[in-house]
Amino acid sequence: MMSPLLEIDNLGVTFSTRRGLVEAVRGVSLSLQPGEMLGLVGESGSGKSVTGFAVTGLLDKPGRITAGRVKFRGQDITRASGAELRNLHGANMAMIFQNPRAALNPIRTVGAQIADAVLSHRRLSKQEARAEALKLLRAVQIRDPDRRLDAYPHELSGGMCQRVMIAIAISCNPSLLIADEPTTGLDVTTQKVVMDLLARIVAERGMTTILITHDLGLAAHYCRRVVVMEQGRLVEEGAPQTLFRAPQHAYTKRLVASSPTATSRVGDLVPADEALPVVEVKERPTPAPGTPPLLDVQHVVKRFDDGAAAVADFSMTMAAGESVGLVGESGSGKSTTARMICRLIDPSAGDILFDGYSIAKLPARDFHRSPLRKEIQIVFQDPHESLNPRFTAFDCIAHPLLRLTGLRPGDALRSRVEECADRVGLPRELLSRFPHQLSGGQKARIGIARAIACRPRLLVLDEPTAALDVSVQAVVLQLLDRLRREDNLAFLFVSHDLNVVRMMCSRTIVLRAGGIVEQGESLALFANPQTDYTRELVEAIPHIGSPASLLPA
Amino acid sequence: MGTIGATLIRAGRRFLSSLPALFGVLVFTFLLMRVLPGDPAVFFASGPSAGNEEIEVVRKQLGLDRSLPEQLVIYLHDVGRGNLGRSMMTGQPVAKDLRQRLPASLELTLTALVIALIAAVPLGVLAALRPNSLIDHSVRLFCSLGVCVPTFVSGLLLIYVFYYLLGLAPDPTGRIDVFASVPPARTGFLMVDFLLAGDVEGWWAAARQLMLPAFTMALFVIAPLARITRASMLVSLGSDFVRTARSVGLSRWQIVVTYALRNAILPVITIAGIVFSTMLGANVLVEKVFSWPGVASYALDALLVSDYAPVQGFVLLMASIFVAVNLLVDVLYGIADPRATVA
């Protein structure tokens, strides 16, 4: 057995905050063999990123290593001086970060940034460094590398920026590479391309890698060994197939259960003892023939000022109580379509009928005065940003009631808000709190309560769980599904997560570059895609395999 | 080429969009001067004993007997031909007066701005590198003092210390010693004219004369510049790309200067432009304390004796300089930030 490249022994990291000391990492021990790719998974706040930063000595100011040792090639680097660390950085260990666009200097060309990294550890002339940068851009398979050398980060796509970041990280051939959520925020097909590239480069150059991610599928797909972290501790470790098929620790079990897979159902995501009681829903009478559909979108087009079409000729119909998924990659026009339907922006052409009434001709800025405004409500993507920070939870939920239903402050309003809070499972005592005093899941519940407060018939959900941890996502999805059944709500569910859409929606529409590629029954569509594009999307999703316990009985 | 072209297009658009504002300034000052109390005809008639007839004659000479719109049209027509009127105070055309005095003001203000930037940017960077340290607090104290003490007080203090006590500075009156020979005026900037004339001794004398007022003025504007440098440096240093730079082991100098400061300098450019324009007009106190023959003190003198033309000319000049400085800031911004596009 070779001696390990990296040995973490009983690592402890503490952050000093305004509310005192917070232990972010407690007693973590790990060792990595040369050439290994280790997956470090966990939800936000689990300490996985902090562990990565502690290993590379890049912890932010308030954070401090308070216990343990990190031995790199047998040498303890927790007590390394600034100069020693600088020699380690880049030449021996490098990092790849989440949000590649922010991780690159916005006002320096990518060629110059790669050359900077090369020059920091090697004695080369400027020309040689530039040639080296070009070679690295070729290695990360950037198209047209000669021209891209002089491009600025804002001129490149997110996936391209991440390739540049990889080029910077591997520029001095480090032996240890730490990738912190390298593909979070990228489209699933881009994620696959970038991860495949990274895995190949790492294997070719014999680098040891730690892949930090919240996505179990990603870790399972690329790593031989995975460790799970919860609240700063390591809870379980093993090969992904055994770990995710037969998790031992309660937290891992929960994490595995709540990660949506190709076969999971909404009800399976939450452990039985925490699941919401199943409500009996009586059969709704089928509408009389001749009633118009709830929503009828006819050939809508959205053109931007420069003439480019964000959405070209989109049509769909929806019945009451139906749930339709809208999937596609960034730039496919799914959000633009959703915004036109909930009348936040005006279509350039085409018509939108709600309940048989045309609503496309009403300008978006006047639509809030229309009586149909309360029929079509929206749940926004980011539960943190979409709540007014100066409104309490109560105010947030009461606001649409005051504006749209004519309720006045008083007992009626209070009881209506409390009823909404009850329905979304938000404890009443939290109603007086402000958003910053609540967790992400609680804020998501407020967003949902606000949307259903006016008893709408159509709910447009724009990536409602994209910013949430999987265990919170599981609960929120289940809640949404129940609300839909109880109220016979129609859902237009916009998401990039195909597994979520498949569970939540009976029908799915796949968009690409502003046009419909494919549509049909969700299960059939994903099981047997008819177009190459949909197949590509489906196949790009990393899977953790189908753990036996979750297969439908 | 692409970015430079885009920057020029943007600058051109900005310039066009600022023309209406310039016109507004023109009309507004004209009206303001007319509603202010004080009758120039009375003032410029030969004396307090002047009879009504004499005053009437002066009024007619000045064109003040005509209606307000008529006066405005005549004024606009004259301005259009580059004629800003004649100053009653100096007896010279206003355009000539301003042309003589503007270089004095510009020389002083530019020197003060350069001094302020040289002091403020490093101070701000130091403060940001060690937030809440002794350095940070000293910089904060220094900045607060600079802002709290009025310029005429700090000017007098500097004169007291460097001229009266230490004797290092020359007699603090005017741009140059009364008895010294003045170089042929080619640019109006003494520092440049002396150099062009090859008179090093004269140049040094003029430079010494310039130092006290320039430092007085700089003291006042170091504070905003240093504070904005510190704030934007803090943001820059905490950003993801600085973390990237650290993760590949770039040298400290490169991280602080090439990565952090180059990004942090953008808001400093904007503030420096605003500060410069304000200084040019607001340094009347400094000009008065040091008997500096600048445009601001000229305009103030004219205002005190209800001499319309110089004041209107001054305001128009300031507005034009403001527009020009903003254009310059735009161009600099375009060079410093590749993301700035035609918008």
> Are residues A343 and A489 both part of a single domain?
yes
> Are residues A199 and A318 both part of a single domain?
no
Residue B343: the pLDDT is: 42
Percentage of residues in chain B having pLDDT higher than 90? 22
Q: Which of B240, B249, B336 is opposite residue A120, by nearest beta carbon?
A: B249
Residue B342: the pLDDT is: 43
The answer to whether residue A530 sits within a structural domain is yes
The answer to whether residue A549 sits within a structural domain is no
Q: Give the closest-approach CA distance of A120 to chain B in angstroms.
A: 5
> CB within 8 A of A273, min separation 6: which ones?
none
> Are residues B298 and B315 both part of a single domain?
no
Residue A284: the pLDDT is: 65
Q: Which residues of A touch B243 (CB under 8 A)?
A: 58, 97, 103
Check B249 against A89: CB less than 8 A apart.
yes
pLDDT digits (tens, 9 = 90+) for B38-69: 677 776 665 666 677 777 777 777 777 788 88
Q: Which residues of B touch A102 (CB under 8 A)?
A: 239-241
* Token pair 């020979």: residue: B181
SS (H, E, C) A165-211: HHHHHCCCCCCEEEEECCCCCCCHHHHHHHHHHHHHHHHHHCCEEEE
> Are residues B240 and B156 both part of a single domain?
yes
> Are residues B296 and B317 both part of a single domain?
no
Other C-beta atoms closer than 10 Å to the C-beta of A401 total 21
- With a cut of 60, say whether residue A193 has pLDDT above it: yes
Contact by Cβ (8 Å): A545, A220? yes
pLDDT digits (tens, 9 = 90+) for A46-69: 889 999 999 988 888 788 899 899
> Are residues A357 and A244 both part of a single domain?
no
The answer, yes or no, to whether ipTM is higher than 0.90 is no
- With a cut of 50, say whether residue A550 has pLDDT above it: no
Check B248 against A94: CB less than 8 A apart.
yes
pLDDT digits (tens, 9 = 90+) for A129-169: 999 999 999 999 888 899 999 999 988 888 899 999 999 99
> Are residues A224 and A112 both part of a single domain?
yes
The answer to whether residue A15 sits within a structural domain is yes
Specify whether the backbone of B66 is left (phi greater than 0), alpha (psi in -120 to 50) or beta: beta
Residue A549: the pLDDT is: 34
SS3 A405: helix
> Are residues A61 and A121 both part of a single domain?
yes
Q: Give the closest-approach CA distance of A434 to chain B in angstroms.
A: 27
Mean per-residue pLDDT for A241-255? 89
Q: How many domains does chain B have?
A: 2
Give CA–CA dist B232/B268, Å, rounded.
8
- With a cut of 60, say whether residue A546 has pLDDT above it: no
Confidence of residue A368 (pLDDT cuts 50, 70, 90): confident
Q: Name which residue leads in pLDDT, B177 or A188.
A: A188
| CATH classification of the domain holding B277 | 1.10.3720.10
> Are residues B99 and B188 both part of a single domain?
yes
> Are residues A387 and A479 both part of a single domain?
yes
> Are residues A93 and A239 both part of a single domain?
yes
Give the domain range for residue A41: 6-259
How many Cα atoms sit within 13 Å of A324 on the Cβ side?
A: 24
Percentage of residues in chain A having pLDDT higher than 90? 48
> Are residues B11 and B125 both part of a single domain?
no
**From B262, which residue of chain A is nearest by alpha-carbon distance?**
A107
- With a cut of 90, say whether residue A98 has pLDDT above it: no
Give CA–CA dist A300/A337, Å, rounded.
8
> Are residues A325 and A440 both part of a single domain?
yes
Residue A32: the pLDDT is: 92
> Are residues B227 and B153 both part of a single domain?
yes
> Are residues A157 and A300 both part of a single domain?
no
> Are residues A354 and A412 both part of a single domain?
yes
Reference B340, options B232, B245, B224, B329; nearest CA is B329
Check A103 against B248: CB less than 8 A apart.
no
Q: Name which residue leads in pLDDT, A41 or B3.
A: A41
CA A475 to chain centre: 16
Q: Which residues of B touch A154 (CB under 8 A)?
A: 338-339
> Are residues A245 and A345 both part of a single domain?
no
How many Cα atoms sit within 13 Å of B109 on the Cβ side?
A: 27
- With a cut of 60, say whether residue A189 has pLDDT above it: yes
Check B248 against A99: CB less than 8 A apart.
no
Q: In this structure, what token pair is assigned to residue A111?
A: 């060629």
pLDDT digits (tens, 9 = 90+) for A303-356: 887 777 889 889 999 998 899 999 988 888 888 999 999 899 999 999 999 988
> Are residues B240 and B108 both part of a single domain?
yes
> Are residues B278 and B164 both part of a single domain?
yes
> Are residues A18 and A77 both part of a single domain?
yes
The answer to whether residue A62 sits within a structural domain is yes
Give CA–CA dist B130/A136, Å, rounded.
36
pLDDT digits (tens, 9 = 90+) for A498-539: 889 999 999 999 999 889 999 999 989 988 999 999 999 988
* Token pair 């450019």: residue: B269
Q: What ranges in A89-157 are assigned the alpha helix state H?
A: 100-103, 110-119, 126-139, 145-148
Q: What ranges in A247-330 are assigned the alpha helix state H?
A: 250-258
* Residues A379, A380, A385: CA angle, nearest 5 degrees: 135
> Are residues B214 and B336 both part of a single domain?
no
Instruction: Describe the crossing of helices A158-169 and A110-119 by its angle, rounded to 10 degrees.
Output: 20
Q: How many domains does chain A have?
A: 2
The answer to whether residue A186 sits within a structural domain is yes
| CATH classification of the domain holding A404 | 3.40.50.300
> Are residues B287 and B311 both part of a single domain?
no
**From B258, which residue of chain A is nearest by alpha-carbon distance?**
A108
Residue ranges of chain B whose pLDDT lies below 70: 1-3, 38, 43-50, 341-343
Give the domain range for residue B171: 94-302
CA A350 to chain centre: 32
Q: Give the closest-approach CA distance of A105 to chain B in angstroms.
A: 5
> Are residues B169 and B311 both part of a single domain?
no
Last residue in a domain, options A259, A275, A306:
A259
The answer to whether residue A234 sits within a structural domain is yes
> Are residues B84 and B188 both part of a single domain?
no
> Tell me, what amino acid is at B31?
L
